[in-house]
Amino acid sequence: MPNESAVTWVHVFEEDTADGQVFRPVDADIPLSRRPRERFELRPDGSAVLLSAGGDDRYVPNSARWTEEGGELVVRDANDNVRFRIVEQSADRLLVRRT
């Protein structure tokens, strides 16, 4: 379950493995990247915001929500499509699998 306050998570693709994609908190020591890094925010009330790069590389927010299902956090977009599953979590790292 997410922290008691909202946390923005950033995709650190350099750390991805065959098991999934790695996300770190926005305030972590994340290397600079030429391409915008995917981000999302999980809120304690079950809501979420998916942040994707727009045409000018500014982040565009999209509403989402998360639920706990079978020991994983499942994030769904506004159309109820499963976007990804968080299969491992700690205070400084999430392991995400795309569906």
pLDDT at 1: 56
- pLDDT tens-digit series, residues 37-94: 999 999 999 999 999 888 887 899 999 999 999 999 999 999 999 999 999 999 999 9
List the one residue out of 21, 4, 82 whose CA is nearest residue 74: 82
Alpha-carbon span 79 to 66, nearest angstrom: 13
> Which residues are CB-contacts of 35 (< 8 A; sequence separation ≥ 6)?
53
User: What does pTM read for this prediction?
Assistant: 0.89
Any idea which fold 7-98 has? Lipocalin (2.40.128)
